[in-house]
Amino acid sequence: MKNSTKFLVTLCFSFLLIKDTVLLAGVPLVRNKRNLVRCEPSGRIMSPGDKRFEVGSLICDGEKLEVLNGGSIKFLCFSTGEVVGLSSGVLASDKCAKPSSSDSACRIDSRNFCQGTRKGGEAGNNEPTIIYPYHIPTLKPRPEVAWLPVAGATSYEVRFECHEFAWERVVNQTRLAYPLEEKALVSGQTCRIIVFAYKNDNVTSADQSVVYLLPEDEAKRIKDVVEQINQLKLSPDETALDLDAVFISRNLFDETLKELNNVVASGTKNPTIYRVLGDRYFQAGVPDKAKRQYLIALQFLKTNRNPTELRKVQEGLKIVDYYNQLPTSR
- Domains detected in the chain: 2-96 (no CATH), 130-213 (2.60.40.10), 216-324 (1.25.40.10)
pLDDT at 110: 44
Query: Would you say 137 and 219 are in contact if contact means Cβ atoms under 8 Å apart?
Result: no
Query: Contact at 8 Å (CB) between 67 and 55?
Result: no
**Per-residue b or e along 129-148, where b marks 16 or more CB atoms closer than 10 Å to that residue's CB:** bbbbbbbbbbbbeebebbbb
Secondary structure, 3-state, 79-147: CCCEEEEECCEECCHHHHCCCCCCCCCCCHHHCCCCCCCCCCCCCCECCCCEEECCCCEECCCCCCEEE
3 phi-psi bin (left φ>0, alpha ψ -120 to 50, beta other): alpha
3-state SS assignment for residue 235? coil
| pLDDT value of residue 121 | 47
The rounded distance, in Å, linking the Cα atoms of 328 and 287 is: 13
pTM comes to 0.82
Instruction: Say what the pLDDT of residue 15 is.
Output: 39
Note the pLDDT of residue 328: 56
What are the per-10-residue average pLDDT scores of the chain (330 residues)? Answer: 48 38 55 88 94 94 88 93 91 68 44 46 71 92 95 96 96 96 96 96 94 96 97 97 96 95 97 97 91 97 89 95 71
DSSP annotation of 173: S
Contacts of residue 242, defined as CB under 8 A and 6 or more positions apart, other chains included, come to 44, 76, 78, 229, 234
Across the beta sheet with 166-171, the strand order is: 137-138, 202-213, 190-199, 155-161, 166-171
Nearest to 130 by CA among 144, 142, 140, 141: 144
DSSP string, 19-61: HHHHHHHTSPB---SGGGSSS---EEE-SS-BSSB-TT-EE-T
Closest CA to 229 of 218, 241, 239, 219: 239
Name the residue among 235, 245, 226, 309 with its Cα closest to residue 275.
309
pLDDT at 311: 95
DSSP 67: B
Spatial CA neighbour of 81 closest among 54, 43, 37:
43
Count CB neighbours of 196 within 10 A: 21
Q: How many residues does the chain have?
A: 330
Q: Please give the pLDDT value at position 99.
A: 54
